[in-house]
Structure formats: structure tokens, C-alpha cells
Chain A
Amino acid sequence: MRKKQQIEHTPLLVLSLLAVEDMYGYQMILELARRSNRTFDMKEGTLYPVLHGLEQQGYVEAYRQEAPTGRVRKYYHLTKKGGEALRTESESWRRYSGAVDAVLRSSALGLA
């Protein structure tokens, strides 16, 4: 169940990372782990299909640039289309998680 959640919401997480600043793949893995307090600890290779899928659909675009490490890396940038998708999907997620919370709270009251 946990793995299924990761695959479904990885694009949303990636878009939200890129809303802050342009990043390259390894940087996103580190940032994701940091912000989620290691809750999202995905297999790193699986990030790239997600990134390439978002790129082919036009939600992100890529360019090559020197990273702070001094090595040239492929950076990803959120496009306008990606920003709109992020807003929409975030709203959907908030409604969904709110509904799950509400059901769990009422179950907890029932159990209590």
C-alpha cells in the first residue's frame, strides 16, 4: 500500500520541489528525504521515469548546467503548464487527505 502511494504521488512531489527552485535528480532525492523526514525514501532510479514522463508531457523542461559540486548536471524547471497541474493536483490531494482524515477521526471516536 505504501509503495503504491509513492508511485502515484511521486509526480506531485517532484512538481512541488521544482516550484521552489530548479533541481537535478540527485538533488531532488536529497531534498525529498530531508523535507519528509525520510518518510519518502524511494528507490532513486525510479525517480527518472517520473522526471522523463513529466518532461515529455510538458510539465517540466530540462537543460544542462554546472551544479554547485562543479559537475554539469541535467536540471529540471517547472513550466507554466506544470505549475497549473501542481495547483490542481495539490487541491485534489488536499480534498482527498482531508476526507481520509475525517473518516479516520470518526472511526477513532467510534473505537474510543
Chain B
Amino acid sequence: MDRSEYCAQVLSHLRRLSRREREAVRAELEEHMEDHICALLDLGYDAQLAEERTMAAMGDPAEVGREMEKQYPRGWNVAAGAALILSIFVIFSALSSSYNRRMIGYAWESVVCRVSPPEPEEIAAGMFYRQEPYIPVSGVREKVDIQRNIGNDVLWIYRITVGDQDGVQTAEAAACIYDKIPGGLVSFPAFNELLVESQRGEQQVLCRQGALANPMMWNLLLRAPVRPGDDHITLRYDWLGETVTVDIPLPKEGVP
């Protein structure tokens, strides 16, 4: 019997081991035998005798194999297999429907909007109002920074524009709503009740990008008519006994 035959006999008893583990056992035994043979060669043995003596010193390969097999408990492999199945399940679940696949993009948008929210033109792209493409107000534009916590959600108003829209002086605020925790869902019943008012109480329709397209982040364009001398428009809603009123200041240049 030579080294490779010895290892083959040991490995033939290692049914519970994976291919990688068997290869590691083989390598370790081969290395041991190599060291023993080299030591005997250093003592003046010839190669064949050194190998024979080494094989004899190694002991019964069947016994080594049987004892080795006992040292590898199945339990951990089962646990690793279960973890792998769980991971496959999660990945399939995440990619199982086109809606789930879109959720990956929605989650990313809801994170990005907190630092880099979209401009009104980006929000308006793809929106419709009374079956016509929605044209955002162009005119004097200013940054604002108004945040309100509403339940689990944050309403952030970040732009105000005043300009002429179809012959009417109009103010339009850009806002987004997102859950406090990235990845959380926006509470849509609450925000279905939003109203935008001018200083005279005239109410306008709230325009929301893509309706319920992204459940984690809504982009809003809040529009109300304004007149010279106006300095704000108002966002208002009632929800579960809570009334929220937010005054959105108009640009410093005011209404022309």
C-alpha cells in the first residue's frame, strides 16, 4: 500500500463529510506521511522501505476512517442547510413578483429623498391633473425647510415656487412624506385628507406623484392661488382627532 492508497482507504469511510472536508483530511494525512518518510530518508532509509515503515506506523486505515467519521456531527450541517434554504426563500420572496422587485427601487428612493429630494419638474413628470399632463408652476423659487412628525411619518416641505399658471398667480410647494424609519410605509389614509388653502381659505387639489406608486415615500405638489400681499399658504388635515396646520411661507420677493 502506498500513500494515496492509504488515504483512499481512510476516505472511503468518510461518508458524512463534504468534498471540502474530505480533501482537507486527505491533505493532512498525506503531509504527515511525507514528514515521516522524509525523516526516515534523513536516517538513511531507501524510499521504498521508508514508505513501508511509514504505512505501518500509520495504523489501520479503516479504523482511522471510522474514528474520523464519528468526529463530524451532522447537526451543524443541517443548521447550515436550513440557513441556506432560508436565504433562498428570502431571495425568491423578494424577487417573486414584479411588485416586490420594484420595492427595491422604492426603498432606495425613500432613503435618497431624505437627503436629495426631487425638484418639482421631476415630481410633475408623469403626473396628470384632469387628464392633462401636470405642469408645475415656474417662477420665483426658494428653498424652505419645514418638517412635521405625523404619527410614524415625517412630512418635509422643501421648496416653494410662486408664478403665473394659466393666468392665475399660484404658489406651489414641493414636499415629501416618508416613514421615520427607512423602509417603513407611509400611512396613506392619513394623507388622503390633506388640503391646501390660500390665505382666503380657497382650497386646491393636492397632487401626488403616481398616487400610491411608492408606498414608502410620497412626493407632493401643494398648490394654492395667491394674491399680492400674501405671505403664506396653508397645509391642513385632520386625522384621528389630531389637527395639523402648517403655514408655508412664500418667497421673500412675494407675489408680484
Contacts and interface: CB of A to CB of B under 8 A. Distances in A.
* Direct contact between A and B judged by beta carbons closer than 8 A: yes
Contacts of A53: 70-71
Given A43-B58, A43-B59, A56-B71, A48 B64 contact: yes
B63 A46 contact: yes
The secondary structure that dominates the A interface is helix
Contacts of A26: 31-32, 35-36
Bin the interface of chain A by size: 10 to 19
A2 interface: no
Given A49-B70, A52-B72, A71-B35, A25 B28 contact: yes
Interface string B51-64: 00000011111011
Contacts of B10: 45
Interface residues of B, number: 25
Interface in B17-40: 24-25, 27-29, 31-32, 34-36, 38
Contacts, number: 63
Q: State the main secondary structure of chain B at its contact with A.
A: helix
A46 B67 contact: yes
Contacts of A45: 10, 29, 32, 58-61, 63-64
B44 to A, nearest CB: 18
Interface in A13-50: 24-26, 43-46, 48-49
Contact of A48 (B35, B36, B38, B68): B68
A105 interface: no
Given A46-B64, A52-B72, A73 B31 contact: yes
Interface in A59-91: 69, 71, 73-74
Contacts of B72: 52, 56
B73 interface: yes
Given A43-B57, A45-B58, A49-B68, 9 more contacts: A43-B60, A43-B63, A43-B64, A45-B59, A48-B28, A48-B29, A69-B35, A73-B35, A74-B31
Interface of A: 24-26, 43-46, 48-49, 52-53, 56, 69, 71, 73-74
A-B pairs, top 10 by smallest CB distance, nearest first, are A43-B59, A49-B67, A53-B71, A45-B64, A45-B58, A26-B35, A45-B59, A49-B68, A52-B71, A26-B32
Interface of B: 10, 24-25, 27-29, 31-32, 34-36, 38, 57-61, 63-64, 67-68, 70-73
